[in-house]
């Protein structure tokens, strides 16, 4: 049984580089399976890119005011410390 499967695979798969190139060209241009899979992967990649950009923009929008507030607090503490040291 195992030898039969190996023989079948050796008969199915291309033997040399030219046959492989011919096979892949056929897959790209004429296969009914590769095109829908490629389209689904393209849709998936677009959705992931959108979600990543949305996450980044959300973080920037949320963190920018927080960093400004933190900077203001730090500046006030430093100003009070300088005032205290000068007195």
Structural domain boundaries of the chain? 15-86
Average pLDDT score over the chain: 87
35's tokens: 């095109």
What's the whole-number mean pLDDT along residues 67-73? Answer: 87
Q: What is the pLDDT of residue 32?
A: 82
- What pLDDT score does 49 carry? 98
Angle, CA of 74, 80 and 84, to the nearest 5° = 145
Q: What's 73's DSSP letter? A: H
pLDDT, residue 85, reads 86
Mind listing the pLDDT tens digit for each residue in 32-53? 887 888 889 999 999 999 999 9
Q: Is pLDDT at 1 greater than 70 in this prediction? A: no
């Amino acid at each position: 049984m195992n030898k039969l499967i190996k023989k079948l695979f050796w008969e199915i798969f291309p033997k040399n580089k030219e046959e492989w190139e011919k096979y892949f060209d056929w897959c790209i241009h004429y296969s009914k399976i590769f095109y829908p899979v490629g389209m689904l992967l393209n849709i998936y990649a677009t959705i992931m890119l959108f979600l990543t950009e949305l996450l980044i923009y959300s973080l920037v929008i949320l963190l920018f005011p927080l960093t400004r507030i933190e900077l203001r607090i730090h500046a006030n503490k430093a100003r009070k410390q300088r005032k205290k040291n000068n007195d």
